[in-house]
């Protein structure tokens, strides 16, 4: 029997594992991490790699290790000034990934890795039984659900239909199965992932990238005000008993679809040089054939053609629509708010010995729950329970 099983080996699951192990709350032979991928942070690495993100948006103190200055020290050891960017010392993606890998080597994380997909969770006499798609059954005392956004991606209505009909021509940038990458490209979305992707594609295919978004670039350093990282805003958030109100606040204060200043500048430079173009508009209709998609824009009535349509339109709010999770909620009578998300205790326990992290901990942790800072805080709370 495992002492801890963590479902999901992304940033959240691995940060929690690192904290449990480094605080000597448990040992590696008593931990299991179940994830469909072959290695830790697989989704993180493939998503950030696909959009060509050179630097993280978050500062250097946000990483997977215990000591907040661990990544800075690791970067200094490289003797290369380019590993951090700007006044907030945002780490390069390479540095961040290398640092994470070094932690995994240190705690021998791979020993806990179980490559599989959880398909059911039950409780018998105080012990959790976790069933997987490969027909295995693992038992544990403590269970952590750190499955991120559960592969639920957001599409505009017309986009989902297009991607279903022409999967080789159109798709969400975070889906495992991507369309065939052929210019000209149409990137749909106005947030940071769209911005990175437009910059990357404009370098590779100058003049063959069109971006469509409902708004001009909204400029914010971070995806929520840093006041949400501490008591400045969190102490009043924690006093709110109505979870609908907590949800409203989270939605309102997240700088959704925003980009930091330097990315907005780079994009406007690329536009001036004719390497990419931008339409503030929406798609009204589309027509497809085996070689291209023709789209008609709603406001200008302009027509535009693309061989590849990429949706950089973020994650959907249907994260809780997962069969095994719904069955767990039903059988263990777990509390959920109107929005369907878990109502958990301060230590992120949903019921005794069952913990959540990431989006599932949002109503307790506030707007930073999904981020790396949220992973650190979740790990501190769970390891300290």
Ligand X SMILES: Cc1cc2nc3c(=O)[nH]c(=O)nc-3n(C[C@H](O)[C@H](O)[C@H](O)COP(=O)(O)OP(=O)(O)OC[C@H]3O[C@@H](n4cnc5c(N)ncnc54)[C@H](O)[C@@H]3O)c2cc1C
Nearest approach, Cβ of residue 24 and ligand X (Å): 23
Nearest approach, Cβ of residue 259 and ligand X (Å): 12
- Residue of 74, 16, 13 whose CA lies nearest to 39: 13
- Each residue 321-360 as x (binds ligand X by CB under 6 A) or -, in order, gives -------------------------------------x--
Q: Which stretch binds ligand X (CB under 6 A): 9-17, 19-27, 77-85, 343-351?
A: 9-17
Distance CA 357, CA 380 (A): 11
Distance CA 224, CA 137 (A): 40
Q: Read out DSSP for 197-221?
A: HHHHHHHHSTT-EEEEESSSPEE-S
Element (H, E) at 174: none
- Nearest to ligand X of 370, 377 (CB atom): 370
Distance CA 146, CA 35 (A): 10
Distance CA 223, CA 219 (A): 10
Q: What are phi and psi of 50, to 5 degrees?
A: -60, -40
Is residue 65 within 8 A of residue 17, CB to CB? The reply is: no
- Nearest to ligand X of 9, 171 (CB atom): 9
- Each residue 133-172 as x (binds ligand X by CB under 6 A) or -, in order, gives -------------xxxxx----------------------
- Nearest to ligand X of 171, 286 (CB atom): 171
Residue 219: CB atoms within 10 Å: 14
Touching ligand X, residues 304-323 (CB under 6 A): none
Q: Which stretch binds ligand X (CB under 6 A): 32-40, 158-166, 257-265, 276-284?
A: 32-40
HSE, side-chain direction, 13 A CA sphere, residue 246: 28
Q: Is 99 helix (H, G, I), strand (E, B) or coil?
A: helix
Specify the DSSP class assigned to residue 334. Answer: -
How many residues lie near ligand X (CB under 6 A)?
Answer: 35
32 forms part of the interface with ligand X (CB under 6 A): no
Touching ligand X, residues 42-101 (CB under 6 A): 42-44, 47-48, 51, 53, 56-58, 62
193 forms part of the interface with ligand X (CB under 6 A): yes
Q: Given the rule CB under 6 A, which residues bind ligand X?
A: 7-13, 34-37, 42-44, 47-48, 51, 53, 56-58, 62, 117-118, 146-150, 193, 358, 370-373
């Amino acid at each position: 029997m495992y002492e801890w099983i963590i479902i999901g080996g992304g940033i959240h699951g691995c940060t929690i594992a690192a904290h449990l192990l480094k605080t000597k709350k448990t040992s590696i032979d008593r931990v299991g991490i179940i994830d469909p991928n072959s290695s830790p942070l697989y989704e993180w690495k493939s998503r950030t790699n696909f959009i060509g993100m050179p630097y993280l948006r978050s500062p250097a103190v946000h990483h997977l290790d215990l000591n907040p200055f661990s990544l800075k020290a690791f970067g200094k050891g490289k003797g290369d000034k380019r590993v951090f960017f700007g006044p907030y010392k945002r780490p390069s993606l390479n540095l961040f990934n290398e640092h994470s890998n070094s932690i995994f080597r240190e705690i021998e994380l791979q020993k806990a890795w179980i490559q599989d997909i959880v398909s059911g969770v039950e409780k018998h006499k105080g012990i959790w039984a976790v069933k997987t798609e490969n027909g295995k059954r693992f038992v544990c005392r403590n269970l952590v659900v750190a499955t991120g956004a559960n592969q639920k991606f957001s599409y505009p209505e017309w986009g989902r239909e297009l991607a279903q009909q022409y999967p080789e021509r159109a798709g969400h940038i975070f889906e495992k199965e991507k369309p065939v990458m052929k210019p000209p490209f149409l990137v749909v979305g106005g947030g940071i992932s769209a911005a990175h992707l437009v910059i990357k594609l404009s370098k590779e295919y100058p003049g063959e990238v069109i971006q469509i978004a409902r708004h001009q670039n909204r400029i914010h350093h971070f995806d929520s005000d840093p006041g949400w990282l501490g008591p400045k805003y969190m102490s009043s958030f924690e006093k709110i008993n109505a979870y609908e109100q907590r949800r409203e606040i989270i939605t309102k204060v997240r700088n959704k679809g925003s980009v930091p200043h330097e990315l907005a500048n780079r994009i406007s430079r690329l536009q001036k040089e004719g390497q990419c173009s931008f339409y503030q508009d929406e798609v009204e209709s589309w027509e497809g054939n085996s070689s291209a998609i023709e789209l008609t824009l709603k406001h200008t009535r302009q027509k535009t053609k693309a061989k590849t349509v990429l949706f950089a339109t973020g994650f959907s709010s249907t994260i809780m629509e997962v069969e095994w999770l719904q069955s767990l909620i039903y059988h263990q009578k777990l509390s959920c708010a109107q929005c369907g998300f878990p109502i958990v205790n301060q230590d992120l326990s949903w019921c005794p010995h069952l913990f959540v992290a990431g989006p599932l901990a949002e109503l307790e942790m506030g707007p930073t729950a999904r981020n790396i800072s949220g992973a650190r805080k979740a790990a501190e709370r769970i390891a300290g329970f």
